[in-house]
Amino acid sequence: MTVVVPSSYRRIVLASRPRGAVLPENFRLETVAVPALADGQLLIRNHYLSLDPYMRGRMSAGKSYAASQALDETMIGGTVGEVVASNHAGFAVGEFVGGMLGWAEMGVSDGLLLRKLDISKIALSAYLGAAGMPGMAAWYGFNKIMQAKAGETIVVSAASGAVGSVVGQLAKLRGCRAVGIAGGAEKCAYVVDELGFDACVDYKAGNLAADLKAATPDGVDAIFENVGGECFDAALGRSNAFGRVALCGMMAGYDGSDVSIRSARALLINRLTLRGFIITEHQDCWPEGLAELGGLIATGQLKYRESVAQGLASAPDTFIGLLKGLNFGKQLVKLI
């Protein structure tokens, strides 16, 4: 296989930290030289970049899951791509790999955190969504925290998104009543008609609490929370005794908005168990989870939807849109 390796590639670095809402000027597009590979290194051309809400937390100097994203360094991010040069015995040119090479067209790796990807039955891009980190977040929260049984009712916010869509479909496969919360009639229709949820409430319609009550006549036994704020309060307000809450994200607060839990009394009165988690800390579960998710995708039992932006330069605006919920399904940037 002949691969032409260019002498330079483009990347996006964090130029400044946002104060409140993320702005395009918080990012800077740069062209950098492709470095010479040392022994044990390989060069990867990224096909897709994943954009995810957690990146917003990394952009701030404050405490988040992990260390802040450094200024003037390549923005953190999951990627899938193809090996285009290799001084590593374990990776050959032409192989497909997933990694965390960031907002960049190419990247050098020592192979340590790479995952080889089989694209014979699963599309390459899916490894950034339902067959990757978002899928695992859903799988872990659903199986390890929500522990929902057949016949129970679950609620998941951002239900049309990369994580929420998997939560609801896993719940349906388990025999639960799956109720989503999403923004807008189009997303809600997709969640019910395409993904097979039992109901989906449009939080933008202005009657969130009443609509969720109507959609959960037997209350709510388990909540998967991606958003926080009024979505979370509405779900807590419907909670049953001994309910479980998997707290995966609070997107509503990423721009500094208030995400106070106003239904806090429900945690006590209904004796709820709530656990916050970050999926990268549970690597021991990934082999089992990814095998199950991959099997469901390959057999068509787990559906997903992607929003694909074109070209690295589109990443900042696309990311800003993601934080506003403008995406519809897993947000990707196609790099080649």
Residues in contact with a copy of itself by the rule CB under 8 A: 57, 63-65, 228, 247-250, 253, 258-262, 264-265, 267-278, 281
**Nearer to a copy of itself by C-beta: 140 or 319?**
140
Task: Classify burial at 12, counting beta carbons within 10 Å of its beta carbon; exposed 0-12, middle 13-18, buried 19 or more.
Answer: buried
Question: Minimum distance between the CB of residue 279 and a copy of itself, rounded to whole angstroms?
Answer: 11
Tell me which DSSP letter residue 140 carries: H
Question: Minimum distance between the CB of residue 171 and a copy of itself, rounded to whole angstroms?
Answer: 21
Question: Minimum distance between the CB of residue 208 and a copy of itself, rounded to whole angstroms?
Answer: 17
**Nearer to a copy of itself by C-beta: 81 or 229?**
229
**Nearer to a copy of itself by C-beta: 115 or 262?**
262
Question: Minimum distance between the CB of residue 275 and a copy of itself, rounded to whole angstroms?
Answer: 5
**Angle of helix 133-140 versus helix 164-174 axis, rounded to 10:** 50
Distances (CA, A) of 312 to 70, 186, 216, 255, 324: 19, 28, 42, 23, 20
Question: Minimum distance between the CB of residue 281 and a copy of itself, rounded to whole angstroms?
Answer: 7
Question: Minimum distance between the CB of residue 238 and a copy of itself, rounded to whole angstroms?
Answer: 12
**Angle of helix 164-174 versus helix 286-298 axis, rounded to 10:** 80
Dist. CA 191–CA 263, nearest whole Å: 26
Q: Are strands 220-225 and 239-247 parallel, antiparallel or unpaired?
A: parallel
Under 8 Å between Cβ of 304 and 165 = yes
Task: Classify burial at 320, counting beta carbons within 10 Å of its beta carbon; exposed 0-12, middle 13-18, buried 19 or more.
Answer: buried
Task: Classify burial at 165, counting beta carbons within 10 Å of its beta carbon; exposed 0-12, middle 13-18, buried 19 or more.
Answer: buried
Question: Minimum distance between the CB of residue 35 and a copy of itself, rounded to whole angstroms?
Answer: 35
Dist. CA 191–CA 172, nearest whole Å: 12
Place of tokens 């395409």: 194
**Nearer to a copy of itself by C-beta: 7 or 63?**
63
Question: Minimum distance between the CB of residue 237 and a copy of itself, rounded to whole angstroms?
Answer: 11
**Nearer to a copy of itself by C-beta: 119 or 264?**
264
Give the SS3 label for residue 269. Answer: helix
Under 8 Å between Cβ of 74 and 103 = yes
**Nearer to a copy of itself by C-beta: 184 or 219?**
219
Place of tokens 């949820």: 197
Amino acid sitting at position 117: L
**Nearer to a copy of itself by C-beta: 58 or 334?**
58
**Nearer to a copy of itself by C-beta: 77 or 229?**
229
Give the SS3 label for residue 129. Answer: coil
Question: Minimum distance between the CB of residue 91 and a copy of itself, rounded to whole angstroms?
Answer: 33
**Nearer to a copy of itself by C-beta: 211 or 225?**
225
